Amino acid sequence: VQPSELQECLDCGVCCFSRLDTYVPVTGGDRARLGAQAEALTVFTGNRCYMRMDGDHCAALQCTDEGQWACGAYAQRPAVCRELVRGGAACAAEREQKGERPPQLLALQARLPSG
C-alpha cells in the first residue's frame, strides 16, 4: 500500500487509540520536550512515565468539530509516536487491529447530548 492510498492521519487517528495505560512510553527527553504540557498529559507508573490515557485513546488526541483526529501535542509528541510512520508496517498493523475504534467513538459522541 502506498502512503498516498491511505487515509490522511487526520481522518484516521487509529494509532493513538489503546486500552492500555502503558501504551505510549515517555522518556525523560520526551517529557522535557512536552514542557508545560507534561504535567497534564503524562502519568508515572512506578518510575516509568507514559502518556495519560483518556478512555480508549491518548489524552493528547483531540477530535475537531469536523470529526477529524489531531494530536494536541504534535510538535512535542514522544519519540515512539514520531517513529510510527504513516504507511509503514506498524501503521498498517494498527489500522488492521483497531480501525473500528475512532468511528465507534465518533458515533457514540454523536448520540450523547451536548453540553
Q: What are the residues binding ligand SF4 (CB under 6 A)?
A: 6-7, 9, 12-16, 24, 51, 58, 60-61, 71, 73, 77-78, 81, 84, 86, 91, 94-95
Phi (first) and psi of residue 58, to 5 degrees: -60, 140
* C-beta closer to ligand SF4: residue 11 or 108: 11
* C-beta closer to ligand SF4: residue 39 or 113: 39
The span from the CA of 114 to the CA of 112, in Å, is 6
The span from the CA of 112 to the CA of 115, in Å, is 9
* C-beta closer to ligand SF4: residue 77 or 111: 77
Q: Report in angstroms how near the CB of residue 109 gets to ligand SF4 at its nearest.
A: 17
- Nearest of 74, 75, 18, 72 to residue 50 by alpha carbon: 18
Q: Report in angstroms how near the CB of residue 6 gets to ligand SF4 at its nearest.
A: 5
